[in-house]
Amino acid sequence: MKALHFGAGNIGKGFIGNLLSKNGYEVCFVDVNQEMIDRINGSNSYLVELLDDNHTVETIFSVSALNSITQEIKVIEAIVNADIITTSVGVVNLSRISRILAKGLLERIAQNRKQIDVIANENAIDASRTLKKEVEKIVSGEEMAQINSLVGFPNSAIDRLALSKKGAEGDITLVEPFFEWVINKSEMVNFDLPLISGTTYVEDLKPYIERKLYIVNMGHAATAYLAFLSGEPTIQKALRNQKVERIVRGAMVEASQYITHTYQSDSEKMTEFIEKTLKRFKNSNISDDILRVGQSPIRKLGYDERLIKPARELFKLGLPIENLATSIAAGYLFNTQEDKESIALQDYIRANGIDKAISHFSQIEHAELKDIIKKHYDKMKNCHIVIN
């Protein structure tokens, strides 16, 4: 079996490619990093280190890599011959791979190949649908109808922390022991392949995606922004601060009320999920830089994003949001020259004030909700270290 995966980054190598390889697939990565491509092709393998107490190192075999810019013909051939296509390029980069994907899928149709599923594994809701829309922009209506007859774009939810470190043989991907890959089975078209062991298949993906985004991703971002204000360099060190942990846990508990209310989820299981997530965040074998986790604050403070949507939905229901509001305020105080969005965010606040910033970036217009966020913002903004 052959898998083609767009993106030879940490998630690609440490999670998706890793799991596909363990399920018996020959995995071919498509990337633009020629150094990475050469390194993979040099040994047809790469290393993954598990961030457990033993720091177990695994070698992932039967892999290869192609450059989507300089080896377009070979990438198209790989699309034609693949049994499954997956991505982990970042949702903002899906448009960049859509052209070559469209070419390959149309060539596959011309050669009367079997049905195939294309799964975009990005940290976003309905990423596969987004990729499909990017393909639609490029092809004609008739060509898209042909693609729809052969290709499924099942959405997925993924969860695994993946980092990297320099090694003697180049970058080594670091992954936490926990992982979750949930695929919407109802959107698949190819059932000839065995189901991927270690993956969960569901008929309705939305509860899993929202649980991941509004509890896990929200909690991770909240920790980063509070850590920045408390002067802590990593997620793990920040959560040793009892006040930071209290606010983060409180924000996760508040956000869980949105999940339980929307999907009638079991509240006891949700509590267990929160504690398991916090345990992951505290893993002492991980050193998770807060500037990495907190990057792109404008996106993360968006209307339907991890911090804002649960807060505004809970506010409508009259449920508590104090810890979420504190975390949102901390996001608006995230100020680092290492991140373009942080620079743009702070420039806007200086020029227009926090009230207009909340309206502009989070699209919150309700005066009472804005006042709750501003209360926490004003309380923290003049303190050098505010969580101590």
Average pLDDT, the chain: 95
pTM recorded for the entire structure: 0.87
Identify the helix (H) or strand (E) that includes residue 162.
Answer: strand 162-167
In whole angstroms, give the CA distance from residue 69 to residue 62: 23
Q: How many CA atoms lie within 13 A of 177 on its CB side?
A: 13
In whole angstroms, give the CA distance from residue 45 to residue 49: 13
In whole angstroms, give the CA distance from residue 358 to residue 346: 12
Q: Using the predicted structure, report yes or no on whether residue 247 has a pLDDT greater than 60.
A: yes
> What angle, 0 to 180 degrees and rounded to 10, lies between the N-to-C axes of helices 367-381 and 322-332?
60
Q: Using the predicted structure, report yes or no on whether residue 306 has a pLDDT greater than 80.
A: yes
Is residue 89 within 8 Å of residue 57, measured between CB atoms?
Answer: no
Q: Using the predicted structure, report yes or no on whether residue 155 has a pLDDT greater than 90.
A: yes
3-state secondary structure of 58: strand
Average pLDDT over residues 235-253: 97
In whole angstroms, give the CA distance from residue 287 to residue 143: 47
Is residue 48 within 8 Å of residue 63, measured between CB atoms?
Answer: no
In whole angstroms, give the CA distance from residue 86 to residue 117: 8
pLDDT digits (tens, 9 = 90+) for 95-106: 999 999 999 999
Average pLDDT over residues 249-273: 95
pLDDT at 380: 93
pLDDT at 169: 67
pLDDT digits (tens, 9 = 90+) for 26-77: 999 999 999 999 999 999 999 999 999 999 999 999 999 999 999 999 999 9
Q: Using the predicted structure, report yes or no on whether residue 113 has a pLDDT greater than 80.
A: yes
- Which H, E and C letters describe 173-187, residue by residue? EEECCCCEEEEEHHH
Identify the helix (H) or strand (E) that includes residue 17.
Answer: helix 17-22
> What would the two tokens of residue 256 be?
């869980």
